[in-house]
């Protein structure tokens, strides 16, 4: 009995490891090639399993992609929450979000943005009731709340509608635009974040002095 349960647990573990590997590989290929240029065949080959095996884990290509984004957004949310928790001011919290995104998470965020902006896949994100829609919304609400809190505390300019501030903030996150900058090597992620924060907060802060850029 115990052996059986142990076996089951072992198998379950192996199963999860494989699933994780599939997600990982798919993410890489997706980032490199985009959704339609990525074939199940290639994923299977790279993972080292047969095509059919992919379908034992995910009922369709679309589901596989949703699983990746879902996982990524969740991780992102968690990271964001942790980053926020360590800060006291709302500005610092938003800066922490920026920083979290660009340091280490940028690869995933880049994929996320690429797919989010890809009309082919927009339905995945915008169909109400879809898991991704809800998760994304949750993240957007977090930002809104920080902005509103900042307005109340006097940190942010309350003459600007929160929704605009939110959109501008989300725009700044879009890593595609900064790809070239980072790839050029003239600047690293940490510096980039500081500059972006500088630009963003210099604008929305009610007073003028800013943190010095080292």
Partner DNA sequence: AATGAATGAGAGTTCATTCAT
Partner DNA sequence: AATGAATGAACTCTCATTCAT
| Contact footprint for its own copies (CB under 8 A) | 30-37, 111, 113-122, 159-161, 163-165, 167-168, 170-172, 174, 176-178, 180-181, 184, 186-187, 192, 194-196, 198-205, 207-211, 213-214
Which of the listed partners (DNA, its own copies, none) does 59 bind, with a CB threshold of 5 to 8 Å by partner kind?
DNA
Choice from 60, 78, 117, 177 touching DNA (CB under 7 A): 60
Which of the listed partners (its own copies, DNA, none) does 55 bind, with a CB threshold of 5 to 8 Å by partner kind?
DNA
Q: How far is the CB of 203 from its own copies (least distance, A)?
A: 3
Which of the listed partners (its own copies, DNA, none) does 71 bind, with a CB threshold of 5 to 8 Å by partner kind?
none
In three-state form (DSSP H/G/I as H, E/B as E, the rest C), the secondary structure along 51-109 is HHHHHHHCCCHHHHHHHHHHHHHHHHHHHHHHHHHCCCCHHHHHHHHHHHHHCCCHHHH
Which residue lies nearer to its own copies by CB, 1 or 213? 213
User: In the window 151-180, what residues touch DNA (CB under 7 A)?
Assistant: none
Count Cα neighbours of 116 within 13 Å in the Cβ-side half-sphere. 21
Which of the listed partners (DNA, its own copies, none) does 21 bind, with a CB threshold of 5 to 8 Å by partner kind?
none
CB < 8 Å & 24+ apart, contacts of 145-152 = 146/84, 146/90, 146/93, 146/94, 146/97, 147/90, 147/94, 149/90, 150/89, 150/90, 150/91, 150/94
**Does residue 9 bind DNA (CB under 7 A)?**
no
Give the phi and the psi of residue 205 in degrees, each rounded to 5: -70, 150
CB atoms within 10 A of CB 39: 13
| Residue 212: DSSP 8-state | P
Q: How far is the CB of 173 from its own copies (least distance, A)?
A: 9
Q: What residues make contact with DNA under the rule CB under 7 A?
A: 7, 11, 14-15, 18, 36-41, 49-53, 55-56, 59-62
């Amino acid at each position: 009995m115990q052996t059986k349960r142990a076996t089951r647990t072992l198998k379950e573990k192996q199963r999860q490891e494989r699933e994780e590997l599939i997600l990982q590989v798919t993410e890489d290929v997706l980032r490199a090639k985009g959704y339609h240029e990525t074939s199940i065949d290639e994923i299977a080959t790279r993972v080292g399993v047969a095509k059919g095996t992919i379908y034992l884990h995910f009922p369709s290509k679309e589901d596989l992609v949703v699983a990746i984004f879902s996982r990524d957004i969740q991780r992102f949310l968690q990271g964001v929450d942790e980053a926020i928790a360590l800060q006291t001011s709302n500005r610092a919290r938003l800066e922490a979000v920026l920083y979290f995104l660009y340091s280490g998470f940028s690869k995933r965020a880049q994929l996320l943005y690429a797919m989010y902006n890809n009309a082919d896949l927009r339905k995945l994100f915008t169909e109400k009731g879809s898991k991704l829609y809800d998760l994304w919304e949750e993240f957007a609400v977090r930002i809104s709340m920080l902005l509103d809190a900042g307005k109340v505390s006097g940190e942010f300019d309350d003459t600007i509608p929160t929704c605009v501030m939110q959109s501008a903030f989300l725009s700044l996150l879009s890593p595609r635009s900064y790809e070239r900058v980072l790839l050029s090597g003239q600047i690293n992620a940490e510096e980039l974040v500081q500059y972006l924060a500088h630009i963003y907060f210099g604008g929305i802060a009610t007073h003028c002095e800013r943190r010095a850029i080292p």
